[in-house]
């Protein structure tokens, strides 16, 4: 039996429910096959405590009859953990907090809002490629693991100039150095 650090239990329980899986640490194929007659996906929490405390929980997953995958849970404003997005590829999103992002808003810049919602007042416009520090994440619209893998929507609380809330669709992990990967996934469009 593996130890689950305090504060992680709600994220793990929500992830198990979201994928109808089994929590296993360390995650191994043999461990996943043992005592798993229903052949459910097996998952393991990969995020550090700081990231979980700030609203994101990354999980590695393995399907006993298929390959591996990663998925991310986000905490909403009420404190409930819900599915954010899943992938078998590299993600452009910042998923380790705190961390730095680059604004990627198709050349238009992105509004940094007073609250994590599109209609909230703006604290200012961050031009594309502006680097901002992310302190926290809040999921505002959950995604779905089963229904075609639709990703959810969320906002990052950023510090810097300007500070406030940045729509997670208009950023990329600063360690990637450009918006290329984000643009490949999101394309171009209007800015929140």
Where are the chain's structural domains? 9-186
d(CA 19, CA 63): 11
Q: Which residue in this structure is represented by tokens 């929140």? A: 192
Tens of pLDDT along 111-163? Answer: 999 999 999 999 999 999 999 999 999 999 999 887 566 899 999 999 988 99
Tens of pLDDT along 35-93? Answer: 889 999 999 999 999 999 999 999 999 888 778 889 999 999 999 999 999 988 889 99
What residues contact residue 31 under an 8 Å CB cut-off, 6+ apart?
24, 42
d(CA 13, CA 120): 32
d(CA 65, CA 68): 10
């Amino acid at each position: 039996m593996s130890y689950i650090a305090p504060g992680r239990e709600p994220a793990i329980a929500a992830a198990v429910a979201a994928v109808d899986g089994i929590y296993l640490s360390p995650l191994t194929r043999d461990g996943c096959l043992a005592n798993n007659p229903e052949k459910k996906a097996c998952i393991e929490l990969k995020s550090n405590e700081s990231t979980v405390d700030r609203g994101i929980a990354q999980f590695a997953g393995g399907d006993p009859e298929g390959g591996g995958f990663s998925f991310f849970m986000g905490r909403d404003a009420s404190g409930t953990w819900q599915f954010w997005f899943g992938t078998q590829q590299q993600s452009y999103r910042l998923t380790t907090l705190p961390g730095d992002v680059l604004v990627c808003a198709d050349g238009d810049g992105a509004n940094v809002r007073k609250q994590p919602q599109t209609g909230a007042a703006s604290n200012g416009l961050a031009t594309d490629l502006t680097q901002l520090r992310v302190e926290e994440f809040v999921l505002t619209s959950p995604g779905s693991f089963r229904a075609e893998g639709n990703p959810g929507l969320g906002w990052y609380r950023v510090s810097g100039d300007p500070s406030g809330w940045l729509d997670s669709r208009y950023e990329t992990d600063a360690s990637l150095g450009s918006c290329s990967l984000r643009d490949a996934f999101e394309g171009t469009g209007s800015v929140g």
